[in-house]
Structure 1
């Protein structure tokens, strides 16, 4: 049966995969090798050096392409390494339009690394797609978006932005880390490139750092493969194996992340000490209807602001949590809590952070797959102190 005939929950297990040809191993072996024997110069079995390709990484890349409805997958040493490859498609003088509340590491890469090479970045509130066109000119070569955004949970209409991008012959790249292909598949909505920090939900167990790109078009894939090989920021075979293993349970984990996320969001929304909760599943979320249309469910990522709280109050809450772990990252089976202003988004200047709502009292939760009653009890004791 071809991958095209498989439904998503089957693709996570079988998509792009086949038993190992040597011994029939069901899981791809970890090919822990840097090089491969050749019968004659240039005579090899498809692999010559593991920076260029490795059988375990190839198995992961095939799986990534399958679950994102793409034709070509590329795996990198981290999500930022994957982003780095995309920006290397550009030239000095090119311009990029991105969302104004994206992940702090993405902002740092854009502003601190690539801006000095003559690439201009515009940060726009993309929840209103009409605001994007005002920043488009003949130098605009890429639109980079997250949806839901990190950490404000804004939802961007991928299909609308893709129509705009195609009208002006601009590449559209979507960071799909928060949603995962279980919830939304940007290539099906018109995006050209999908990016993941596979460290998060795809790996799912907080034990690996990997990035990914998926595309449909062969010419674009070839350009990215060249950059991947030439720059060398690839993941190793053990990391590839771990993410491939994680993908096989993505669908069942995401079901529980969504169930628990909904219960936690509803609990926080009713809590007398909570001022604001950001979660796209609420009917009063600014783009709830877009989320309903382009997402299967609303995910396990939530941000909230306690009433009358400042920096110290928010820090006290996250320090008092016992089931939630105070830590960077997200998307693991365990629940994590973070303080964006001092952790994930500290690289963004305070004035810029606060323009998009990332205030000092904002707390971000990655709701895991534990018993939801334990999670709610933990929040109750931490917020109540």
Structure 2
């Protein structure tokens, strides 16, 4: 890319949609306000595009990544198939471990700590405040949180000192199964500019039409998330009392080991839950088959 194009990217104004457009920026600005993102927000073509973008922008050959396990399966494949193949070292830490366990794995070449909250699928809730303080002791670190299971309405990781907040907007933010999209929100402009450069180069910019639809969905996000959360809490409480349920994983339940942390950093507890049935995998598989295309009354 020649200097003319580079200068164009760095200057205000619009001249080519992949480099930026007013419709996409209008939507990004709303998400940035919801996130408390002083650095701004970038919109991508999918959640996977956001995950790939943040890893490819800030990790280089010879770097070390500390990553929570489990995380979204697509993110695991990016780490295993792309990052490790490009000489990036990875250390996995169980999602139920404390921040101290993550800190013990940090090396001089560690450049990123990557976590999810709530965690997919264990529904673990890492303490965002504790992870936000990691960079105070390790200034080379960038902390990244995938908050897709919570949404930009339910929690704001940047307010706890996290550097980058990531979401698949295909899920709660879009909410209507009519687009795929992702977003990255930044604590400062330097991180934003670095990621924006890679966004343009990789062609991951969200289209104006999809940004318009996403902007529409943001108007109903609060009421949708409140109802998602109240409905799921009712389901989780029902399952917790069911004799054929072994365990229920939902941060809104007092029995959840991270319930106190969840209350501190989440407005609501979201619509995601998981549970284990008595009888293990075989019984669980039968339950899934029975539930297909059926509405079950739990009242």
Instruction: Please give the TM-score of this superposition, normalised by the length of structure 1.
Output: 0.71
| Partner of residue 221 from structure 2, selected from 241, 250, 265 | 250
Deviation at 1:126, TM superposition (A): 4.1
Quick one: distance in 2 between partners of 1:322 and 1:144?
34
Mapped pair 1:80 → 2:48: yes
Quick one: distance in 2 between partners of 1:163 and 1:126?
18
Deviation at 1:274, TM superposition (A): 0.8
Deviation at 1:318, TM superposition (A): 1.9
**1:26-75: CA deviations, max 9, x gaps?**
xxxxxxxxxxxxxxx99x98111111012221111111111111131100
Asked if the contact 1:54–1:237 (Cα under 8 Å) also holds between the matched residues in 2, the reply is yes
Asked if the contact 1:183–1:295 (Cα under 8 Å) also holds between the matched residues in 2, the reply is yes
Count of residue pairs the alignment pairs up: 287
- Tell me the residue number matched to 2:64: 95
Q: Secondary structure at the match of 1:142?
A: strand
Deviation at 1:284, TM superposition (A): 2.2
Quick one: distance in 1 between partners of 2:125 and 2:167?
17
Mapping of residues 158-177 of structure 1, within 5 Å: 158-169=128-139, 170-177=141-148
Quick one: distance in 2 between partners of 1:123 and 1:73?
28
- Tell me the residue number matched to 1:273: 244
Asked if the contact 1:267–1:376 (Cα under 8 Å) also holds between the matched residues in 2, the reply is no
Unpaired runs of 5+ residues, structure 1, are 1-40, 325-373, 381-385
- Tell me the residue number matched to 1:226: 197
**1:237-274: CA deviations, max 9, x gaps?**
22111111111100000110011011000011111111
Unpaired runs of 5+ residues, structure 2, are 1-7
Instruction: Please give the TM-score of this superposition, normalised by the length of structure 2.
Output: 0.91
- Tell me the residue number matched to 1:119: 88
Asked if the contact 2:152–2:173 (Cα under 8 Å) also holds between the matched residues in 1, the reply is no
Deviation at 1:172, TM superposition (A): 0.6
Runs of 4+ in 1 over 4 A off after TM superposition: none
Q: 1:142 to 1:45 in 2, by over 3 A?
A: closer
Over the aligned positions, Cα root-mean-square deviation in angstroms equals: 1.9
Mapped pair 1:189 → 2:156: no
Q: 1:164 to 1:50 in 2, by over 3 A?
A: same
Deviation at 1:99, TM superposition (A): 0.8
Q: Which has the larger radius of gyration?
A: 1
Structure having greater relative contact order (Cα 8 Å, sep ≥ 6): 2
